[in-house]
Amino acid sequence: MDAALRHDQPHAASRRALALLLLGPPGAGKGTQSHAISRKFGIPEISTGEMLREAVRAKTELGNQVKSIMESGELVPDPLVCALVEQRLSQPDCAQGFILDGFPRNLEQARFLDQWLRSQCRFEPLALNIQVDPNLLIKRLTGRRMCPRCRTIYNIYFNSPQKDEICDKDGSPLAQRRDDSEAAIRTRLQEYEAQTKPLLDYYRDSGFLREVDGDPDPPAVTSAILGLLEPS
Ligand SMILES: [Zn+2]
C-alpha cells in the first residue's frame, strides 16, 4: 500500500511541509547540519550517500550495481539515485517534511524532485547552499573518520577522539570511508563543481535558494541556518 496516498487528517494537508535540500560540496558539513535541523524540527534526514552505502553493505541488487561505481569515486547514475530517493520520500515519516542531504546533485535530479514535490502538493521546497573555503574542505575530508558501530563522526584535525583512531563512546576502531581517499575526493570535488553550478542557478532562478557560510564551527552554522528557516 502506498502510504503517501493515505490522508488520515485531510485538514492537516493544507499546512505546507518543509522540503529542505542541503547543497554544498563534500565536507561542507551537510551531515552535521542535517542532524541538528532534524532534531530541531522532528523531521527525518535523508542522506543519499548513507542510503547507497547501506545498500552496498546489505548487498541488495542496487547495492551490487553501485559498489564498483562508488569505489572508483564516480557518482552513481541518476535513474538509480532517483528511484532510491522516491522510494524513501514516499514513507509516512516524510509526510510532515524532510531534509535531503546529497540530493539533488544535478539538473536532472532537481527536475525529477520538482516533479515529485509538485505531485504531492504539500511541500515547501528550500534549497540551502553551504559555502566553504576550498582549503578547509580538503582537511575536513581527508581527516574524516567514522565509528562503524555508533556512526559518530570524528576528524583527526578538528575533532579527534581522545585515543588515536578509537571511538570515545564505545572503543571501536574508527574507519575511513573508502571514498574519502585523496584521489576519490579530488574526483568528487571536480564533479561537484561542474554539476552543481547549473543547479545553483536553477534554484536561484526559482527563488528557492538561500546561502549560508559553512566556514565557522558547526553550532554557529546551525544557528545561522535556523535563522534562515524562522518565518519572518
Ligand atoms: Zn562509536
Tell whether 59 is covered by a domain.
Answer: yes
225: left (phi over 0), alpha (psi -120 to 50) or beta: alpha
Q: Chain-wide mean pLDDT for the chain?
A: 87
Tell whether 18 is covered by a domain.
Answer: yes
Query: How far is 9 from 71, CA to CA, in rounded Å?
Result: 45
> Is the pLDDT assigned to residue 228 strictly greater than 80?
yes
With beta carbons less than 8 A apart as the criterion, state whether 26 and 186 touch: no
Query: How far is 46 from 88, CA to CA, in rounded Å?
Result: 8
Query: What is the extent of the structural domain holding 85?
Result: 3-137+196-229
> Is the pLDDT assigned to residue 232 strictly greater than 90?
no
pLDDT of residue 2: 46
C-alpha of residue 146 to centroid of ligand 1, in Å: 8
Query: How far is 156 from 129, CA to CA, in rounded Å?
Result: 25
Per-residue pLDDT reduced to its tens digit, 147-194: 999 999 999 998 899 999 999 999 999 998 877 777 888 888 888 888
Per-residue pLDDT reduced to its tens digit, 48-98: 888 888 888 988 888 888 888 888 878 789 998 998 899 889 899 999 999
Tell whether 175 is covered by a domain.
Answer: no
From the list 53, 140, 144, 145, the catalytic residue is 144
SS3 breakdown of the chain: % helix, strand, coil, rounded to 5?
Answer: 50, 15, 30
Per-residue pLDDT reduced to its tens digit, 34-52: 999 999 999 999 988 888 8
C-alpha of residue 131 to centroid of ligand 1, in Å: 29
Share of the chain above pLDDT 70, in %: 93
For residue 85, give the CATH number of its domain: 3.40.50.300
Is the pTM for the entire model greater than 0.85? no
How many domains is the chain partitioned into structurally?
A: 1
C-alpha of residue 169 to centroid of ligand 1, in Å: 5
Tell whether 186 is covered by a domain.
Answer: no
With beta carbons less than 8 A apart as the criterion, state whether 76 and 69 touch: yes
Whether 144 sits among the annotated catalytic residues: the reply is yes
Q: First and final CA of the chain: distance in angstroms?
A: 39
Q: Report residues near ion ligand 1: CB below 5 Å.
A: 147, 149-150, 152, 167, 169-170, 172
Orientation of helix 48-57 relative to helix 78-89, angle to 10°: 100
C-alpha of residue 141 to centroid of ligand 1, in Å: 19
Residue with cell 548487498: 59
Query: How far is 66 from 198, CA to CA, in rounded Å?
Result: 25
